[in-house]
């Protein structure tokens, strides 16, 4: 409904007069910087921050500074859409590969406003070939499923043998990886190398890798599963459940060396030990012969020093015994021991006598104290102890005429009858 129709509709149904046109707003003049700041604020929409964008790479250019400039374009419904993009050098170096015109990619980053150029652009931090994103999600699903099966549990991981005799290597027979492992093992420690060859990428490679692992399991002391560096898609086979389950089921310790140090595959998580590179894996499974030889030399020196020290100590002991066992010296020592024993015996006898005297004096003193504290001691001096019914009588007033009492003397006792009771205070 246009404005004329709306006015007509209002006139037909309302008696009110048509409202007047609103006054135009007052004019506000913005500076260029102010307008750029408003645009910056509008671009802070969360949908434009850390988002994924799919498109085709066009106008790709690597600047001398190391930054990469390009556009992402898309044709939809007969119309073309283009977004200018930039990858700073530090992020571009981390990609590990160069983008190309015409390449379909999924880019991750944020939309920003380049005020100096008066345009918005997509600041890309990561970029991968379209389709790899789905593989990333698939690997995450596998990680969850295999983790639930217990393939990554720490308690099941084995230690490596200290001195392996046979080392199995699961890798491509034509790549540089095998050459690096052979060189490192040949330089460090003499071992028998058993190759279980397999393709390390391509359709069906995961099943051949798993078969190669099972083929060598139990025939060697330790297994190295190795592959050189590559993009995520190149290492994809080493994330497959077939490979992870084969590694997890191994009875032989497994060292995984897949890709570069920054690459982590599910095979690495299932292995007993992860190495950053194939060469590092070879160094981990075999000791360094030069270090072992030096340890042996140091051990030999310590053993020789110990033997010489023991020999010198034994020689000193023999000389001392020889001196002590000379007839004259031995007789002198025997006479001296006899004198010492006689003196000791005399000291013991004197000590025994003194101890007996002390004990006798202590016993005499205790007997005197006992006698002095005895209630019967005064009886020997003419006093008597009066008892009634077996209890001592302490005062005359405790008795009554006619009571029968017992008088205990220093020698003997007598039974008596009370004739009269007098209190001393009555006298």
Last residue within a domain, chosen from 91, 108, 130? 130
3-state class of 250 per DSSP?
Answer: coil
* C-alpha angle 253-256-258 in degrees, rounded to nearest 5: 165
- Mean pLDDT for the chain? 83
**Of the given ranges (27-41, 206-220, 273-287, 340-354), which has the lowest mean pLDDT?**
27-41
The beta strand positions in 88-132, using DSSP E, are 104-114, 119-129
Specify the CATH number for the domain of residue 270: 3.40.50.2300
Same domain, 65 and 144: no
Q: How confident is the model at residue 409 (pLDDT cuts 50, 70, 90)?
A: confident
Through-space distance between the first and last CA atoms of the chain, rounded to whole angstroms: 150
Same domain, 140 and 281: yes
pLDDT on residue 2: 43
Q: In the predicted model, is pLDDT for residue 408 greater than 50?
A: yes
**Of the given ranges (86-100, 162-176, 185-199, 369-383), which has the lowest mean pLDDT?**
369-383
201 located within any domain:
yes
Same domain, 162 and 262: yes
Last residue within a domain, chosen from 287, 302, 333? 287
Same domain, 255 and 173: yes
pLDDT on residue 195: 95
Last residue within a domain, chosen from 230, 254, 287? 287
User: For residue 68, what is the enclosing H or E element?
Assistant: strand 68-76
pLDDT on residue 315: 83
Please give the Cα distance from 287 to 276 (Å, whole number): 17
pLDDT digits over 286-320, tens only? 988 888 888 888 988 899 888 888 888 888 888 87
User: For residue 222, what is the enclosing H or E element?
Assistant: strand 222-227
Q: How many domains does the chain have?
A: 3
Q: In the predicted model, is pLDDT for residue 22 greater than 80?
A: no
Q: CA nearest 277: which of 375, 352, 177?
A: 177
Cβ neighbours, 10 Å, residue 109: 22
Same domain, 254 and 157: yes
Same domain, 238 and 168: yes
Q: How confident is the model at residue 150 (pLDDT cuts 50, 70, 90)?
A: very high
Same domain, 60 and 119: yes
Please give the Cα distance from 288 to 185 (Å, whole number): 9
Q: How confident is the model at residue 183 (pLDDT cuts 50, 70, 90)?
A: very high
318 located within any domain:
no
Same domain, 197 and 250: yes
369 located within any domain:
no
179 located within any domain:
yes
Are the CB atoms for 273 and 250 separated by under 8 Å? Answer: no
Using CA atoms, how far residue 391 sits from 21, 296, 378, 386, 400, in Å, is 135, 98, 18, 8, 15
337 located within any domain:
no
Predicted model pTM = 0.47
Q: In the predicted model, is pLDDT for residue 325 greater than 70?
A: no
Highest mean pLDDT: which range of 36-45, 96-105, 378-387 = 96-105
Same domain, 174 and 274: yes
3-state class of 162 per DSSP?
Answer: coil
pLDDT on residue 309: 86
Range of the domain at 417: 378-426
206 located within any domain:
yes
3-state class of 388 per DSSP?
Answer: strand
Please give the Cα distance from 321 to 300 (Å, whole number): 31
Higher pLDDT, 51 or 222: 222
Q: In the predicted model, is pLDDT for residue 16 greater than 80?
A: no
pLDDT on residue 202: 85
Please give the Cα distance from 308 to 230 (Å, whole number): 59
Cβ neighbours of residue 416 closer than 8 Å, sequence gap 6 or more: 404, 405, 406, 407
Q: How confident is the model at residue 5 (pLDDT cuts 50, 70, 90)?
A: very low
Question: Count of residues for the chain?
Answer: 427
144 located within any domain:
yes
Q: In the predicted model, is pLDDT for residue 399 greater than 80?
A: yes
Are the CB atoms for 178 and 212 separated by under 8 Å? Answer: no
Same domain, 155 and 279: yes
Q: How confident is the model at residue 14 (pLDDT cuts 50, 70, 90)?
A: very low
Same domain, 244 and 219: yes
Same domain, 142 and 272: yes
Cα torsion 112, 117, 119, 125: sign: negative
């Amino acid at each position: 409904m246009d404005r004329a129709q709306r006015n007509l509709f209002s006139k037909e149904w309302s008696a009110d007069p048509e409202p007047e046109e609103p006054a135009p707003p007052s004019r506000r003049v913005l500076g260029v910087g102010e307008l750029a700041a408003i645009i910056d604020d509008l671009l802070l929409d969360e949908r434009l921050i850390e988002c994924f964008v799919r498109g085709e790479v066009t106008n790709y250019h690597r600047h001398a500074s190391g930054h990469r400039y390009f556009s992402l374009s898309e044709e939809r419904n007969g119309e073309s859409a283009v977004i200018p993009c930039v990858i700073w050098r530090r992020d571009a170096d981390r990609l590990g590969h160069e983008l190309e015109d015409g390449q379909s990619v999924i880019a991750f980053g944020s939309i920003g406003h380049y005020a100096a150029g008066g345009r918005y652009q997509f600041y890309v931090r990561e970029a991968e070939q379209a389709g790899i994103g789905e593989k990333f999600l698939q690997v995450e699903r596998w990680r969850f499923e295999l983790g639930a099966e217990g393939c990554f549990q720490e308690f099941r991981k084995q230690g490596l043998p200290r001195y392996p005799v046979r080392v199995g290597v699961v890798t491509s027979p034509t790549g540089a990886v095998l050459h690096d492992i052979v060189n490192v093992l040949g330089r460090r420690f003499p071992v028998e190398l058993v190759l279980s060859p397999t393709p390390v990428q391509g359709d069906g490679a995961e099943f051949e890798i798993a078969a190669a692992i099972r083929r060598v399991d139990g025939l060697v002391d330790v297994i190295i599963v190795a592959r050189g560096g590559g993009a995520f898609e190149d290492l994809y086979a080493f994330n497959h459940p077939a490979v992870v389950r084969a590694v997890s089921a191994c009875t032989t310790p497994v060292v995984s060396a897949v890709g570069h140090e920054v690459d982590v595959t599910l095979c690495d998580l299932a292995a007993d030990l992860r190495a950053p590179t194939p060469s590092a894996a070879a160094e981990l499974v075999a000791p360094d012969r030069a270090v072992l030889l030096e340890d042996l030399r140091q051990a030999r020196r310590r053993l020789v020093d110990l033997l010489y020290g023991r020999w010198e100590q034994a020689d000193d002991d023999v000389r001392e015994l020889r001196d002590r066992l000379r007839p004259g010296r031995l007789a002198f020592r025997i006479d001296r021991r006899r004198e010492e024993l006689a003196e000791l015996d005399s000291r013991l006898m004197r000590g025994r006598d003194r101890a007996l005297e002390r004990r006798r004096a202590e016993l005499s003193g205790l007997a005197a104290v006992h006698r002095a504290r005895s209630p019967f001691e005064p009886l020997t001096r003419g006093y008597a102890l009066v008892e009634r019914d077996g209890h001592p009588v302490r005062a005359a007033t405790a008795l009554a005429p006619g009571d029968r009492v017992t008088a205990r003397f220093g020698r003997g006792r007598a039974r008596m009858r009370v004739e009269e009771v007098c209190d001393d205070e009555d006298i």
